[in-house]
């Protein structure tokens, strides 16, 4: 306890609420409220309706939802594979080499994602690899962007891993592949699922790189939200945004269920 008097405590809580509610809770409530409304000119939204949700769950929007989900799942699986492989390989390297590998794999965080989009667009609009205009260019860009996060969280978990388990397995004669798949990866499973959830959420909300290179037949949800707000359809845009948030949260919740089951093992 930092403050002991009751008055000071209430003052601290009041400051917290005054700062926290308008800044963090209000934006989400505004979007949620607007998605059910037709007008918003007074203090509260008016004209309750479900029309925006009806249009946000069919046709173009439904297709965008599947596009986003497929892209996010593909990108997170690819990123998780590459990031985990790099983290496992890096753990076996000498310190100097490992530093280089770590620096290489965090680089996509530092590079602006718009530039990653531009780079992927420039590189894969020309032979030998012609991906421009296909869904693969979007998935590639998303994978590049989220691999850094997967690598970071898996390598952080690897340094916390108790080496006693794999030593015990090795001393009992387990082959390296057996140790990897039966000892290390199961022990890493909680952080692997956490990393997968992070990658998925990032990819679902990715807008900057996507705006640079999405083909017309592969439009993810954030682009649709932008298109709606850009033409002034703010209420439809917020309904699509709520669908985006709900889909992300649902998948994150499912992933966290896997984690709790694994951590009791």
Contact (Cβ atoms closer than 8 angstroms) between residue 244 and residue 223: no
CB of 160 to other proteins, least distance (A): 14
Q: Is 224 in the site for other proteins (CB under 8 A)?
A: no
CB of 29 to other proteins, least distance (A): 8
Q: Is 9 in the site for other proteins (CB under 8 A)?
A: yes
Q: Is 53 in the site for other proteins (CB under 8 A)?
A: no
Contact (Cβ atoms closer than 8 angstroms) between residue 223 and residue 61: no
The residues in 179-218 that bind other proteins, with binding defined as CB under 8 A, are: 179-180, 184, 197-198, 201-202, 204-208, 211-212
Cβ neighbours of 199 (radius 10 Å): 28
- DSSP at 4: -
Rounded CA-CA distance 204/220 in Å is 8
Q: Is 67 in the site for other proteins (CB under 8 A)?
A: no
Rounded CA-CA distance 130/147 in Å is 22
Rounded CA-CA distance 251/114 in Å is 26
CB of 124 to other proteins, least distance (A): 7
Rounded CA-CA distance 100/123 in Å is 24
**Could you tell me which stretch among 47-55, 59-67, 69-77, 116-124 binds other proteins (CB under 8 A)?**
116-124
Residue window 125-164: x/- pattern of binding to other proteins, with contact defined by CB under 8 A: ---------------x--xx--x---------------x-
Contact (Cβ atoms closer than 8 angstroms) between residue 52 and residue 235: yes
Give the residue among 201, 190, 210 at the shortest CA–CA distance from 142. 210
Residue from 113, 152, 155, 193 binding other proteins (CB under 8 A): 113
Q: Is 18 in the site for other proteins (CB under 8 A)?
A: no
Residue from 73, 82, 233, 247 binding other proteins (CB under 8 A): 82
Q: Is 114 in the site for other proteins (CB under 8 A)?
A: yes
Q: Is 244 in the site for other proteins (CB under 8 A)?
A: yes
Q: How many CA atoms lie within 13 A of 23 on its CB side?
A: 6
* H-run or E-run covering 209: helix 208-213
Residue from 46, 47, 57, 104 binding other proteins (CB under 8 A): 104
CB of 89 to other proteins, least distance (A): 4
């Amino acid at each position: 306890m930092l403050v002991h008097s009751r008055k000071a405590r209430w003052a601290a809580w009041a400051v917290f609420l005054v700062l926290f509610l308008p800044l963090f809770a209000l934006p989400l409530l505004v979007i949620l409220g607007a998605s059910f409304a037709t007008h918003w000119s007074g203090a509260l939204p008016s004209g309750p309706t479900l029309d925006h949700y009806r249009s946000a769950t069919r046709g173009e929007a439904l297709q965008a939802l599947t596009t986003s989900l497929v892209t996010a799942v593909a990108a997170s699986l690819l990123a998780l594979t590459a990031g985990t492989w790099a983290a496992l390989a890096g753990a076996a390297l000498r310190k100097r080499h490992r530093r280089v590998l770590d620096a290489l794999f965090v680089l996509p965080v530092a590079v602006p994602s718009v530039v990653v989009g531009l780079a992927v667009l420039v590189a894969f609009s020309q032979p030998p690899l012609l991906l421009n205009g296909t869904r693969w260019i979007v998935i590639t860009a998303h994978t590049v962007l989220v691999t850094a996060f997967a690598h970071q969280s898996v390598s952080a978990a690897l340094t916390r891993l108790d080496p006693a388990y794999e030593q015990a397995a090795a001393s009992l004669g387990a082959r390296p592949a057996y140790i990897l798949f039966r000892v290390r990866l199961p022990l890493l499973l909680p952080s692997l699922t956490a990393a997968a959830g992070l990658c998925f959420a990032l990819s679902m909300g990715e807008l900057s790189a996507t705006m640079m290179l999405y083909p017309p037949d592969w439009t993810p949800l954030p682009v649709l939200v932008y298109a709606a707000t850009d033409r002034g359809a703010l209420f439809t845009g917020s309904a699509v945004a709520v669908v985006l948030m709900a889909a992300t949260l649902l998948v994150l919740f499912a992933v966290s269920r896997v984690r709790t089951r694994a951590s009791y093992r």
